[in-house]
Amino acid sequence: MKIYRLLTEDDTSKFCHKVTEALSKGWELYGNPTYAFDASNGVMRCGQAVTKEVDAEYSPDMKLGAQ
Protein backbone atom coordinates (compact mmCIF):
# COMPACT_ATOMS: atom_id res chain seq x y z
CA MET A 1 0.00 0.00 0.00
CA LYS A 2 1.20 3.52 -0.72
CA ILE A 3 0.94 6.04 2.12
CA TYR A 4 0.98 9.82 1.81
CA ARG A 5 2.13 12.70 4.01
CA LEU A 6 2.26 16.45 3.53
CA LEU A 7 5.28 17.94 5.28
CA THR A 8 4.95 21.63 6.21
CA GLU A 9 7.12 24.08 8.07
CA ASP A 10 8.13 27.74 8.16
CA ASP A 11 10.55 28.71 5.39
CA THR A 12 13.74 27.89 7.31
CA SER A 13 16.38 25.19 7.15
CA LYS A 14 14.12 23.18 9.49
CA PHE A 15 11.84 22.49 6.52
CA CYS A 16 14.74 21.19 4.43
CA HIS A 17 15.86 18.97 7.30
CA LYS A 18 12.30 17.61 7.70
CA VAL A 19 12.15 16.65 4.00
CA THR A 20 15.70 15.24 4.04
CA GLU A 21 14.87 13.09 7.07
CA ALA A 22 11.77 11.71 5.31
CA LEU A 23 13.83 10.90 2.20
CA SER A 24 16.44 9.12 4.36
CA LYS A 25 13.62 6.94 5.75
CA GLY A 26 12.47 5.80 2.30
CA TRP A 27 9.83 8.42 1.51
CA GLU A 28 9.76 9.75 -2.07
CA LEU A 29 8.91 13.25 -3.23
CA TYR A 30 5.43 13.54 -4.72
CA GLY A 31 4.74 16.56 -6.90
CA ASN A 32 6.20 20.02 -6.59
CA PRO A 33 6.85 21.83 -3.31
CA THR A 34 4.48 24.63 -2.29
CA TYR A 35 5.27 28.03 -0.85
CA ALA A 36 2.71 30.41 0.66
CA PHE A 37 2.40 33.34 3.03
CA ASP A 38 0.89 32.49 6.43
CA ALA A 39 -0.83 35.80 7.22
CA SER A 40 -1.84 34.80 10.74
CA ASN A 41 1.82 34.28 11.73
CA GLY A 42 3.43 36.69 9.25
CA VAL A 43 5.80 34.08 7.77
CA MET A 44 6.30 32.16 4.55
CA ARG A 45 5.53 28.43 4.82
CA CYS A 46 6.72 25.54 2.69
CA GLY A 47 5.03 22.23 1.92
CA GLN A 48 6.12 19.02 0.22
CA ALA A 49 4.07 15.89 -0.35
CA VAL A 50 5.84 12.55 0.07
CA THR A 51 4.75 8.95 -0.47
CA LYS A 52 6.07 5.56 0.60
CA GLU A 53 5.21 1.94 -0.17
CA VAL A 54 4.60 -0.06 3.02
CA ASP A 55 3.60 -3.63 3.76
CA ALA A 56 0.53 -2.85 5.87
CA GLU A 57 -3.23 -2.59 5.71
CA TYR A 58 -4.67 0.93 5.86
CA SER A 59 -6.16 2.07 9.14
CA PRO A 60 -7.22 5.61 10.08
CA ASP A 61 -5.23 5.11 13.31
CA MET A 62 -1.92 4.63 11.45
CA LYS A 63 0.92 6.87 12.58
CA LEU A 64 2.17 7.75 9.09
CA GLY A 65 5.35 9.42 10.32
CA ALA A 66 6.33 6.22 12.12
CA GLN A 67 6.22 4.15 8.92
* 40 belongs to a structural domain: yes
Alpha-carbon Rg for the chain in angstroms:
13
Query: 3-class DSSP state for residue 22?
Result: helix
Tens of pLDDT, residue by residue, the chain (67 residues) = 999 999 999 999 999 999 999 999 999 999 999 999 999 999 999 999 999 999 989 889 988 888 7
Diameter over CA atoms, the chain: 41
Residue 65 lies in a domain: no
pTM value is: 0.87
Q: 21: domain range?
A: 2-55
Report the alpha-carbon distance of residue 52 to residue 37 in Å, rounded: 28
User: Does residue 66 form part of some domain?
Assistant: no
DSSP code, position 5: E
DSSP state of 66: G
Domain membership of residue 61 (yes or no) is no
Q: How many domains does the chain have?
A: 1
